[in-house]
Every structure is written in structure tokens, then in C-alpha cells.
Amino acid sequence: MITVNSITVRLGGRTILDRASAAIPPGGRVGLIGRNGAGKSTLMKVLVGQLDPDEGSVEMPRRTRLAYRDVASATNRLTLIAAMVPAGAVTTHTLFCLKTELPVAQQQVLCALLNSFVANFLIRLRVNTHVTASLMSRLPVPVVPPDDPRFDRLNLLSHVLTSAADVDAAVEYAELQAIAASLYGLSAQEFEHVLRTFPLIPQATRLAAYARFLRDQSG
């Protein structure tokens, strides 16, 4: 829930927002309509923390949320891009956030799987210009029980890659892709085919993911 409590903003001696209030429920999508100079941009700057109100307050979400970008194309480097949005951050209309309250560890694992080449391959079979909520609801995603060793591993890899300087070159990225392919039940030949459909991903990255998959499968 985002709550705007009677905020007032004055700029250059002019009152732009006068005791404005609003409540946006979790997962809500709202449009701002008004003439030029009505304060739409000013309100957005207050919501994202670029501008402090002269009076009033804004209460932000208190939990970390998994989000994905809905504007995409099958010809992009990656089509499905997910990320963890920290508590207190506001997202724009181009991001869809998970409404269900899940433990952060489960969200991290889900984030890792959504960013996999396999999930991207599957979403590309149906996407046009947007990754819609309808497409996401039909996307098959493996369920990894918390007591499965791969759960903890994906959780850790997801955390590590968040701060990686070069994700493509990270060995953790190759391992994440290999685990995801295994969870989806792919054979070596099927995974090789999936990797070939990502020409904008560096070849070294794809080869590393495939090599890690073969290594894990062999034991």
C-alpha cells in the first residue's frame, strides 16, 4: 500500500500540490490525469523520493517484491527480465510486481528461474510487444521445495548476481542457467537448442552454461 497523506508542495512561491491525499493498494495501477502544471510530475517526484513535500507524508511499501518488466520483444537480448524491488521503492507502470506475499527466499528463487534462458525461451514463443499478466499466468515454472538443495543454491546465486559487475561472465550465472535447465527437465540436446536461440548473449556465456549443465548431469 502506498499512502499519500495531505502533502503540500510549494515551488518558487507557488503551491503546486495542496494537501493532496491518495491510497494505492498493492498491485494497483493508477493513471494521473490533469492539465499542464497541475502537479502530476511533482507528485511522481515526491513518490520516488526526488522531492520532499513541504507538508504531509508518504508511506511506502514495507516489503521486498519480485517484479518483471512488461514491455519486451522476442528479438530483445532477453525478453523476460525479473528483479527484486527493495522495500520502500516505487515502481513505474512498466513493471508488474508480485501481489502474493511470499518469503524473500522464495521470491529470490522465483526471480532466478524467471531470468533463466529456458523461461525466456518459453515466453518468447507467445510474446508480442508486452509480457502480459495472462502470459505470465500460463508460463510453466518449476516448483522448488525449500528442502531441495537447489532451493538454497538458487537463492544464493540470485543474491550474488545482484551485485555482479559482469553477469554474463560470472560463473554463478552459468550455474544458475544449468540448474534451471535441469529443473525444467531438459536434455542436453534440448538445452543446446534453447541456447542457440539467444544470439545476442555472448557465445562464451552460452558455452559456459552448457558446460556446467553437462557437468552437473554427469554427476
Based on the fold, state whether residues 148 and 214 are members of the same structural domain: yes
The pLDDT value given to residue 61 = 60
Q: CA-CA distances (angstroms) from residue 131 to 28, 110, 163, 201?
A: 17, 16, 26, 20
Distance of alpha carbon 199 from alpha carbon 12, whole angstroms: 52
The pLDDT value given to residue 36 = 84
Based on the fold, state whether residues 77 and 166 are members of the same structural domain: yes
Query: Cell 531470468 appears where?
Result: 115
pTM of the model: 0.71
The pLDDT value given to residue 182 = 97
The pLDDT value given to residue 48 = 65
The pLDDT value given to residue 142 = 95
Based on the fold, state whether residues 30 and 118 are members of the same structural domain: no
Q: Considering 10, 40, 59, which residue would you say is the last residue of a domain? A: 59
Q: Are 155 and 179 in contact (CB under 8 A)?
A: no
Based on the fold, state whether residues 90 and 24 are members of the same structural domain: no
Number of domains observed in the structure of the chain: 2
Give the residue numbers spanning the domain of 195.
65-218
Based on the fold, state whether residues 31 and 70 are members of the same structural domain: no
Distance of alpha carbon 6 from alpha carbon 120, whole angstroms: 43
**In the chain, what is the greatest distance between 2 CA atoms, to the nearest angstrom?**
71
AA letter at 37: G
Neighbours of 97 (CB within 10 A): 15
Averages of pLDDT over each 10 residues, the chain, 219 residues? 80 86 70 80 76 78 77 80 79 71 89 96 88 87 95 94 92 97 97 96 97 92
The pLDDT value given to residue 106 = 92
Based on the fold, state whether residues 141 and 184 are members of the same structural domain: yes
